[in-house]
């Protein structure tokens, strides 16, 4: 099973939703849910690494989340800082490459330094590529990627490959599986380009009650799905499907 997973599921993205509602259902403040939810992150990262996945991208804080109460935003920032301090050693020891995608400039300076230091310390790591999406928005990422390409290549039309290479997750590739906890069934401006052919899995479980066993079971279940990428049969990758389609189109044109 592990070999099948590595072949078909390389990049998993998770929308970690339901923290506040989980806490309110237990007569607690929303902030308590974020605290409990932050503890789940470590177990999921460890499970992803143990399974041999190539990349794991976690949606921690969106550009829209800035509209939440200041107290809640401050707690999310504090939890990120605590995570970095608590998990730095384990991330390095487990050969995990860490980075944050999004706009880090709005984070406290101390947290920015912790992020920068850990990114530098793990830039040569060859294991799991762990990305935190913080102050991130998919549409914003696309606009920045296009503008970046145009600035470097004035007057040159942009293509799919060029756009992909200018995204914040360029070295992680497309998402194979998107998981969302908390019951909602939408992607909420998360990795819009990268999720084009992702398998989607929505669970009613809220993030604080999500376990490493849940994660493993979902990945293994999705790995058995047939992925056709627009063709009639199972394909190894989207690139394989594109190459086959291009070959067929050229053959048809000659006729």
Catalytic residue IDs:
17, 65
The Cα–Cα gap between 184 and 219 comes to: 19
Spatial CA neighbour of 91 closest among 46, 142, 28: 46
DSSP secondary structure letters along 119-145: HHHHTT--S-EEEEEEEE-HHHHHHHH
Give the sign of the dihedral formed by CA 122, CA 123, CA 128, CA 132: positive
- Tell me the longest C-alpha to C-alpha distance in the chain: 69
- How do 11-15 and 55-62 pair as beta strands? parallel
Q: List, in sequence order, the alpha helices (H) in 168-228.
A: 212-223
Q: Where are the beta strands (DSSP E) in the chain?
A: 11-15, 55-62, 97-101, 129-136, 177-180, 199-202
């Amino acid at each position: 099973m592990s070999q099948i997973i590595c072949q078909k599921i390389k990049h998993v993205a998770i929308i970690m939703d339901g923290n506040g509602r989980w806490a309110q259902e237990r007569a607690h403040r929303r902030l308590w849910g974020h605290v409990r939810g932050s503890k789940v992150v470590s177990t999921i990262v460890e499970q992803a690494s143990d399974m041999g996945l190539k990349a794991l991208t976690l949606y921690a804080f969106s550009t829209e989340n800035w509209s939440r109460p200041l107290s809640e935003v401050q707690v999310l920032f504090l939890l990120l800082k605590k995570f970095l301090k608590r998990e730095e050693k384990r991330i390095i020891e487990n050969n995990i490459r860490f980075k944050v995608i999004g706009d880090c400039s709005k984070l406290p300076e101390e947290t920015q330094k912790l992020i920068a230091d850990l990114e530098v310390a793990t830039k040569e790591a060859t294991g799991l590529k762990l990305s935190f999406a913080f102050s991130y928005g998919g549409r914003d990422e696309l606009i920045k990627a296009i503008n970046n390409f145009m600035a470097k290549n004035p007057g040159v039309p942009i293509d799919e490959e060029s756009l992909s290479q200018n995204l914040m997750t360029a070295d992680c590739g497309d998402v194979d599986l998107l998981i969302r906890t908390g019951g909602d069934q939408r992607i909420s401006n998360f990795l819009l380009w990268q999720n084009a052919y992702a398998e989607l899995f929505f669970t009613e479980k809220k993030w604080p009650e999500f376990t490493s066993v849940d994660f493993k079971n979902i990945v293994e279940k999705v790995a058995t799905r047939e992925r056709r990428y627009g063709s009639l049969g199972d394909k190894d990758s989207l690139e394989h499907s594109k190459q086959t389609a291009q070959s067929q189109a050229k053959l048809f044109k000659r006729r």
